[in-house]
Amino acid sequence: MIVDNPFVNSTPGTNVYVTKGPDAYDNTQRALRAMPLSGLKGLRVLLKPNIGRSARPGAAVTTNPAVIAAAIDVFREAGAIVAIGESPIIGVDLEEAYRICGVTKIAQARKCPLIDMDKRSFVERSIPNGKVIKTLQICEDIDDFDVVVSIPIMKMHMHTHVTLSIKNMKGCLWRRSKVKLHMLPPVEGDDNKPINIAIADMSSVLRPHLAIIDGSVGMEGLGPSAGTPKELGVVVVSADPFAADSVACELMGTSAKETPHLAIAGQRGYGVIDIDAITIHPSHWRDWIKPFDRPPNNLEIEFPNITVLDKNSCSACQSTLLLFLKKYADQLLDYFPNQKHVHIAIGKGHDHVPDKTLCIGNCMLNQEGRGVFVHGCPPVASEILKALTDTVNDCR
């Protein structure tokens, strides 16, 4: 990657551009054309959308393909050589995810390469100022490009409050090394969740040159995968990804200061998160704020027939469980005949769980035999359903 950022121009201050309208392609083109593009001639540009999961367009899980298409067209017009790359979450078939979310179609129409960044190896990068992580395994493909552009979709997130352009860079970490960020022990004397400190650490060495935040249809509530689509019709662009994330937070009715990984990074001086220190175009951008529902703090309110026994679980296990509950909570009692309530246990160090508990993840191995057990570290949501179905079938 090059050090000089071709998107930084002589306009003083930290600038963020917001566009709004019914057409995500048009919004993206208009926002990008506000940026200096002449420096892109001959540069290799990697577009890093959020295609971490398989989901259809409109489900608000993955980046809108129209936003990616507009970025390809604008950057190519400026003379850049463009490709799209991703390293999805464990268990996701990226070829299928690209196809289902609509990215294959727009890439093929433009003969734009689609890269599975897990196919090759990794480069180890040290984090001199890292608090909870000292090295990262970064997909080798990143070093083939001069410029990296983070193109997340606006989503609330159960563990990191929101997921935007800084958090989206986690999808440049190689294969399973991403999961390590979810499995860190608490830091003594620091109330922040280790995942949030780790993302701030990561952002000190893995930072995009440009953020294009897709707020056409975002996700509120139980994000990043089990929430509800929220139509906003905006795109946010900036050469300072922290500033872009900060503005996106405001549009979602929250703030960077409430988002621990951004707050930590801002305190460390990695970028500008103070909304009053950012020049936001146009000046009436606040008219477009549409507050997103926050992720629930208490799952038992959301799922009244279920008690979650959580002891020191990683956010990876929590995400799997949430995704499962969002899809199947209504049917869960069908797998536990004669019960009005189901216990689910995740995490490390459970000495004893009630009989017939649904025990999820390898950390629960010591309780195998007390109920239904689901292997995996982290387990995947489809395996939970499979384990339940197998158990019912075995009882017949």
| Residues near ligand SF4 (CB under 6 A) | 183, 313-314, 316-317, 346-348, 361-363, 377-378
Nearer to ligand SF4, 148 or 374 (CB): 374
Strand ranges in the chain using DSSP code E only, listed in sequence order: 14-20, 44-49, 81-86, 114-116, 122-126, 135-139, 147-151, 153-157, 161-163, 210-220, 228-238, 278-281, 306-311, 342-347, 357-360, 371-374
Pairing of strands 81-86, 44-49: parallel
Task: Give the residue with the Cβ less far from ligand SF4, 14 or 319.
Answer: 319
Least distance to ligand SF4 from the beta carbon of 332, Å?
19
Give the residue at shortest CB distance from ligand SF4. Answer: 361
Provide the token pair at 159.
């563990």
Please report where in the chains the tokens 């990804």 appear, as a residue. 241
> In whole angstroms, how close is the CB of 309 to ligand SF4 at the nearest point?
12
Q: Which is nearer to ligand SF4, 85 or 378 (CB)?
A: 378
CB of 43 to ligand SF4, least distance (A): 39
CB of 231 to ligand SF4, least distance (A): 33
Kindly give the pairing relationship between strand 122-126 and strand 114-116: unpaired
Within 33-127, residue ranges assigned H as helices are 65-77, 94-100, 103-109
Query: What tokens does 292 get?
Result: 């997103």
CB count in 10 Å sphere of residue 73: 18
Q: Which is nearer to ligand SF4, 41 or 375 (CB)?
A: 375
Those residues whose C-beta lies under 8 Å from the C-beta of residue 341, and which sit 6 or more positions away, are: 305, 306, 307
Q: How far is the CB of 387 from ligand SF4 (least distance, A)?
A: 14
Name the minimum Å distance from CB 130 to ligand SF4.
21
Question: CA nearest 209: which of 165, 179, 160?
Answer: 165
Instruction: Name which of 209 and 370 has its Cβ closer to ligand SF4.
Output: 370
Q: Which is nearer to ligand SF4, 7 or 373 (CB)?
A: 373
Q: Are 362 and 305 in contact (CB under 8 A)?
A: no
Find the length of the chain.
Answer: 396
Q: Which tokens sit at 99?
A: 């196809």
Which one, 200 or 314, has the nearer CB to ligand SF4? 314
What does the alpha-carbon distance between residue 347 and residue 333 come to, in Å, rounded to a whole number? 22
The CB-of-181 to ligand SF4 minimum distance in angstroms stands at 11
Is 106 or 363 the residue whose CB approaches ligand SF4 more closely? Answer: 363
CB of 124 closer than 8 Å to CB of 118: no
Contact between residue 252 and residue 156 where contact means Cβ atoms under 8 Å apart: yes
Closest contact distance (angstroms) between CB of 232 and ligand SF4 is: 32
Shortest gap between Cβ of 360 and ligand SF4 (angstroms)? 7
Question: Measured from the CB atom, is 317 or 381 closer to ligand SF4?
Answer: 317
How many CA atoms lie within 13 Å of 121's alpha carbon, on the beta-carbon side?
2
